[in-house]
C-alpha cells in the first residue's frame, strides 16, 4: 500500500469524478454530495499518510515500470507532499461549503472540483516537465467550468479573459518545452538538472530562452506583475467555494518556479545558474507594491482578499529571489498560511454578503448583519492572521522571511517593502471591518443565518492560524528539510535517477 501512495492523490479524485458523472450518483444531488465528501476525505487521508512516509525519504513512483528519465514518474518529496495535503484540505473545505447550496446553482459542481483537485495534485507530484504541462491543462479545463458555474454576466466576462490568457500561456508553455527538449534531450526535471551545465554556445542561449519563457508562463499562473491583472476580477466573480479552491492556483505557479528555477537553473547550472534572479527581484517587489495599492483601493471584501493573494504572491517571489534554504523554508511556511487564510476570507466575505442584502460585501452603509458576533469573530481572526499580527501564523511567516534576508543589501530592499505591505494590509482590513460591521443603516437584518456546512468549512480553514503556531517547531523543521531537498538535488540522484542520467 505504501508503495502506491504517491499516485493515490491523483487516482482517488479522478475515479470519484468519473463515478459522479455516472448513474446512480449523477441523478441524485444528495448522493453526489455524500460521494464528493467521501472521495475528498479519502484524498485528505492518503495525503496525510503520504506526508508521514516522508520520514523514509523521497518516494518515487514509476508508471509502467519505465525507469526515469525515459518513463513517466511521480516524485513525492517533502515539498510536493506538503502541497498535496494543502490542496486536499482546501478541496474538502470547498465541498463542505458548497453543500449548503452553492453546488445546486449549476451542473457537475462536485465532479469538476474533484477533477480540479486531481490536476493540482498531479502538478505537484509529477517529476516531468511535459506532464507538468498536462496536469496544468487538466486543472485549467476544470477551472474554466468552475469559474462560470452558476452563470451570470460578471462570471462570463471574467471567464473569457481567464480562458484567453491561459490559452496563450499554454501555447508559450509548449514552445518552452520544445526548446528545452531540443537542447537537453529530456524533460525529466532531475535529468535536466544534470545536463544544463554542460551546454555551450547556441544551445546555452536556447536553454536560457526556454527557461525565461517558462518564467513567463509560471508568472502568469502565479499572478506575478505585470501578468497579475486577471486575478482580481476572476477571483471576485467566482462563487465562494470556487474562489476558496482557487487560492491554491497561484501557488501552482509559485511551486513551478521553485521546482524549475531552483532544481534545473539552480546553483549547479553553470553559467545559467540563477539566471531568472535578476528578473524575479524587481517583479517580486513590484508585485507587493501593486497588491498593496490594490488592497487599499478595493471596493469590497472579495476584491480585497484577491489583492491579498497578490501580496502573498509577491512575498513568495521574494523568498524565491533570495535563493537560499532559509528563505525557501520561510516561503513554504508562509505559502501554507496564506493559502488557507485567504481561502477562509473568501468564504467569510460570502457569508457577510448573504446577510447584508443588496450591499453584499461592498464597503458601503447597509443593514446590520444578522450574526454580527459570529461573523465578526471569524473576520477578526482571518484579518489578524493574514495581516501578520502576533501571535498568529502570518506573523511567524513574515518573521522567518525577514530573518532569511540577512544580507545588508537584501535587508534594504526586502524589509521596508514587506513591513509596509503588512501595514497597508492592516489599514485596508481595518477599514473593511469597521465598514462592514459598524457602519449600518436602521434597516432590520433579514439575511439567512450561516449554515452548519458554512461554519464547518470556515472553521476548518481558520484552524490553521493557531495550529501553525502551536505546531510551529515541527512545521518549520519540516519546511527546512523540504527546502534542503529542493536545493540539494545532486545528493538524491541515486533515488531520483536510479538508472543514471540519460
According to the model, what pLDDT value does residue 499 have? 66
Average pLDDT for residues 479-497, to the nearest whole number?
Answer: 85
Question: Which cell is 128 given?
Answer: 516531468
CB burial of 296-326 (b: ≥16 within 10 Å; e: otherwise) equals eebebbbbbbbbbbbbbbbbbbbbbbbbbbb
- pLDDT value of residue 1: 58
Please indicate whether residue 352 or residue 497 has the higher confidence score (pLDDT): 352
Q: Let me know if 439 is exposed, middle or buried by CB neighbors in 10 A (0-12, 13-18, 19+).
A: exposed
Mean pLDDT of the chain: 88
**Residue 390 maps to a domain:** yes
Q: Is the pLDDT of residue 202 over 90?
A: no
Task: Give the model's pLDDT for residue 502.
Answer: 60
The answer to the question of residue 494 being in a domain is no
pLDDT classification of 331: cutoffs 50, 70, 90: very high
Q: In which band, very low, low, confident or very high, does the pLDDT at 149 lie, cut at 50, 70 and 90?
A: confident
Mean pLDDT for the stretch of residues 427-449: 80
Determine contact, residues 264/194, Cβ cutoff 8 Å. Answer: no
Residues near 81 by Cβ (< 8 Å), separated by ≥ 6?
Answer: 47, 50, 51, 54
Q: What is the pLDDT of residue 155?
A: 72
In a domain, 145, yes or no: no
Decide if 113 contacts 14 (C-beta within 8 A): no
Check whether 106 has a pLDDT greater than 80: no
**Distance in Å from the first CA to the final CA of the chain:** 30
Domain-embedded: residue 305: yes
How far is the CA of 154 from the CAs of 158, 212, 460, in angstroms? 6, 33, 29
What's the pLDDT score for residue 304? 94
Between 476 and 67, name the one with better pLDDT: 476
Beta bridge partners, 188, equal 128
Q: Residue 251: its pLDDT value, please?
A: 93
Q: What is the pLDDT of residue 500?
A: 63
- Per-residue pLDDT band for 236 (boundaries 50, 70, 90) equals confident
Cis check for the bond before 153: say yes or no (omega within 30 of 0).
no
The rounded distance, in Å, linking the Cα atoms of 407 and 403 is 10
Per the domain annotation, does 385 fall within a domain? yes
Q: Is the pLDDT of residue 456 over 90?
A: yes
Contact 454, 244 (CB under 8 A): no
Cα torsion 252, 254, 259, 260: sign: positive
Cell representation of residue 327: 528563505
- Rounded mean pLDDT of 483-489? 88
Side-chain-facing half-sphere of 48: CA atoms under 13 Å: 6
Among 34-48, 221-235, 396-410, 436-450, name the one with the lowest average pLDDT: 436-450
Does 1 or 477 have the greater pLDDT score?
477
pLDDT-based confidence at residue 359 (cuts at 50, 70, 90): confident
Report residue 275: phi and psi, to 5°: -65, -25
pTM: 0.94
**Of the candidate ranges 254-258, 352-356, 423-427, the one whose mean pLDDT is the lowest:** 352-356
For range 420-444, the mean pLDDT: 86
382 belongs to a structural domain = yes
Q: E strands along 21-86, which residues?
A: 59-62, 73-76
Q: Between 65 and 456, name the one with better pLDDT.
A: 456
Do 470 and 174 touch, CB atoms closer than 8 A?
A: no
Indicate if the pLDDT at residue 256 is higher than 80: yes
pLDDT digits (tens, 9 = 90+) for 377-390: 999 999 999 988 88
Assess if residue 254 is contained within a domain: no
Indicate if the pLDDT at residue 442 is higher than 90.
no
Place of cell 534545473: 264
Number of domains in the chain: 1
Residues in the chain, total = 502
Q: What is the pLDDT of residues 18-46, one digit of tens each?
A: 999 988 877 778 889 999 999 999 999 99
Using one digit for the tens of pLDDT, what is the confidence trace for 111-133?
Answer: 999 999 999 999 999 989 999 99
For residues 7 and 167, give the distance between their C-alpha atoms in angstroms, rounded to a whole number.
Answer: 27
What domain range includes position 374?
A: 276-489
Does any domain span residue 376?
A: yes
Model confidence at 393: pLDDT above 90: no
Residues 184-200 have pLDDT tens digits of: 989 999 989 889 988 88
pLDDT band at 97 (very low <50, low <70, confident <90, very high): very high
Amino acid at each position: 500500500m505504501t508503495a502506491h501512495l504517491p499516485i493515490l492523490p491523483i487516482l482517488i479524485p479522478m475515479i470519484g469524478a468519473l463515478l459522479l458523472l455516472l448513474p446512480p450518483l449523477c441523478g441524485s444531488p444528495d448522493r453526489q454530495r455524500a460521494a464528493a465528501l467521501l472521495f475528498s476525505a479519502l484524498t485528505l487521508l492518503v495525503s496525510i499518510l503520504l506526508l508521514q512516509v516522508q520520514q523514509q525519504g523521497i518516494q518515487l513512483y514509476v508508471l509502467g515500470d519505465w525507469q526515469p528519465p525515459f518513463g513517466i514518474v511521480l516524485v513525492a518529496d517533502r515539498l510536493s507532499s506538503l502541497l498535496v495535503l494543502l490542496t486536499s484540505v482546501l478541496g474538502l473545505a470547498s465541498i463542505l461549503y458548497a453543500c449548503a447550496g452553492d453546488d445546486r446553482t449549476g451542473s457537475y459542481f462536485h465532479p469538476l472540483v474533484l477533477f480540479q483537485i486531481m490536476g493540482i495534485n498531479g502538478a505537484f507530484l509529477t517529476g516531468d516537465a511535459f506532464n507538468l504541462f498536462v496536469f496544468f491543462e487538466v486543472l485549467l479545463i476544470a477551472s474554466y467550468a468552475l469559474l462560470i458555474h452558476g452563470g451570470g454576466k460578471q462570471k462570463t466576462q471574467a471567464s473569457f479573459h481567464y480562458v484567453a490568457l491561459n490559452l496563450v500561456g499554454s501555447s508559450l508553455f509548449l514552445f518552452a518545452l520544445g526548446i528545452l527538449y531540443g537542447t537537453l534531450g529530456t524533460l525529466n526535471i532531475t535529468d535536466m538538472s544534470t545536463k544544463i551545465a554542460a551546454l555551450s554556445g547556441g544551445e546555452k542561449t536556447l536553454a536560457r530562452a526556454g527557461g525565461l519563457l517558462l518564467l513567463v508562463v509560471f508568472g502568469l499562473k502565479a499572478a506575478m506583475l505585470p501578468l497579475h491583472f486577471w486575478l482580481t476580477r476572476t477571483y471576485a466573480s467566482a462563487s465562494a467555494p470556487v474562489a476558496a479552491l482557487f487560492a491554491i492556483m497561484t501557488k501552482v505557479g509559485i511551486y513551478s518556479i521553485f521546482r524549475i528555477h531552483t532544481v534545473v537553473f539552480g546553483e549547479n547550472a553553470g553559467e545559467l545558474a540563477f539566471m531568472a534572479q535578476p528578473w524575479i527581484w524587481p517583479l517580486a517587489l513590484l508585485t507587493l507594491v501593486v497588491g498593496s495599492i490594490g488592497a487599499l483601493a478595493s471596493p469590497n471584501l472579495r476584491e480585497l482578499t484577491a489583492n491579498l493573494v497578490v501580496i502573498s504572491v509577491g512575498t513568495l517571489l521574494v523568498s524565491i529571489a533570495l535563493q537560499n534554504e532559509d528563505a525557501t523554508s520561510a516561503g513554504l511556511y508562509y505559502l501554507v498560511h496564506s493559502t488557507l487564510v485567504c481561502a477562509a476570507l473568501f468564504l467569510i466575505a460570502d457569508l457577510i454578503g448573504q446577510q447584508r442584502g443588496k450591499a453584499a460585501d461592498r464597503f458601503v452603509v447597509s443593514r446590520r448583519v444578522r450574526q454580527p458576533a459570529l461573523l465578526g469573530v471569524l473576520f477578526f481572526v482571518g484579518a489578524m492572521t493574514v495581516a501578520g499580527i502576533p501571535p498568529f501564523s502570518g506573523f511567524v511567516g513574515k518573521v522567518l522571511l525577514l530573518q532569511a534576508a540577512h544580507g545588508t543589501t537584501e535587508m534594504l530592499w526586502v524589509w521596508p517593502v514587506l513591513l509596509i505591505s503588512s501595514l497597508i494590509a492592516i489599514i485596508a482590513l481595518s477599514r473593511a471591518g469597521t465598514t462592514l460591521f459598524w457602519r449600518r443603516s436602521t434597516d432590520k437584518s433579514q439575511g439567512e443565518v450561516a449554515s452548519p456546512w458554512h461554519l464547518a468549512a470556515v472553521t476548518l480553514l481558520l484552524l490553521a492560524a493557531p495550529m501553525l503556531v502551536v505546531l510551529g517547531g515541527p512545521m518549520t523543521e519540516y519546511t527546512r528539510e523540504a527546502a534542503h531537498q529542493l536545493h540539494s538535488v545532486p545528493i538524491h540522484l541515486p533515488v531520483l535517477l536510479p538508472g543514471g542520467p540519460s
